[in-house]
Amino acid sequence: MNKKLNEPTKNKQPLFVTVYDRLYKQIMDGTFPPDSRLPTEPELAKVFGVSRMTLRQALSLLQEDGLVKNIHGKGNFITKVHQNENKIGLEKLGNPLYKCFPEKVDDVELSLRMELVTDYSVQVLNRPLTAVVAVDRWYMSGNKVAAYAFTIMSIEAVSELELDLQNEKQLLEMLETEVYELANSSTIEIKRSHSINTPSLKYQIFDGGDCDLILESVYISDKYPVVYNKYYIPTEFSQIRINTKK
């Protein structure tokens, strides 16, 4: 491992790819186990005998692979993704946050409010409306809020699902799991966002960084979505996966 990578070699591949290959092998064989912190960039650059720019190119590839995540101010950490290659992705109906957020969710805090019908709610819910229920969900991991979801549903859907809006536990169970058991399909769109677009911002989940935004319409019937969800996951935690088969 201490052999400098800039020594003469017949390998014509770019130097950062060589560094990437070495780090990839060490991650996969457990030299750097899941959740562990990599040595600092200056330390790794010295070990591999390369510049910090070359090292960062290799780390960038590992981040794209979902094997390494950078936490601002703390360093580069090994993720858990490579431990489970058969992990279910967005191709299967179910709450997308738990498929894209690898950290442990310790608690979900919920709040709701009634809102007037707007052009936006009519557009995304695609049905006649008399009132809209807006729900905020804050996902706690450790002592911090690590992800956020904003949901809107018509008051008509509340009645159809026989929900008691005074019963937060029932509502949370419906939004987290039961609606996906009742649903026959969903549509998902993935975007990158710089901010959370909601009038209710109780917590700050990232400090000026980007987040992956998952827009989801969940259908029980084919006529219109029963709920419309916006899941915000900071990019440092987000790991979006879609398994495809021929």
140: CATH: 3.40.1410.10
Mean pLDDT over 92-121 rounds to 92
43: CATH: 1.10.10.10
Q: Are residues 179 and 68 in the same domain?
A: no
Within a domain: residue 184? yes
Q: Are residues 52 and 157 in the same domain?
A: no
Cα separation, 4 vs 113, in Å, equals 61
Last residue of a domain, one of 60, 83, 106: 83
Q: What is the pLDDT of residue 8?
A: 42
pTM higher than the cut 0.75: no
| Percent of all residues in the chain with a pLDDT value above 70, rounded to a whole number | 87
Cα separation, 56 vs 68, in Å, equals 12
Q: Are residues 78 and 109 in the same domain?
A: no
pLDDT tens digits, one per residue of 31-55? 998 889 999 999 999 999 999 999 9
Q: What is the pLDDT of residue 9?
A: 46
Contact between residue 54 and residue 97 where contact means Cβ atoms under 8 Å apart = no
Listed in sequence order, the residues at least 6 apart from 28 whose beta carbon sits closer than 8 Å to its beta carbon are 82
Q: What is the pLDDT of residue 240?
A: 86
Nearest CA to 135 out of 109, 163, 99 is that of 109
Q: Which domain holds residue 23?
A: 15-83
pLDDT confidence tier of residue 196, bands split at 50, 70 and 90: low
Q: What is the pLDDT of residue 70?
A: 86
Helix ranges restricted to H, 101-240 = 119-125, 155-160, 168-173, 179-182
Q: Are residues 217 and 149 in the same domain?
A: yes
Within a domain: residue 182? yes
What the block records as the tokens of 8 is 């003469």
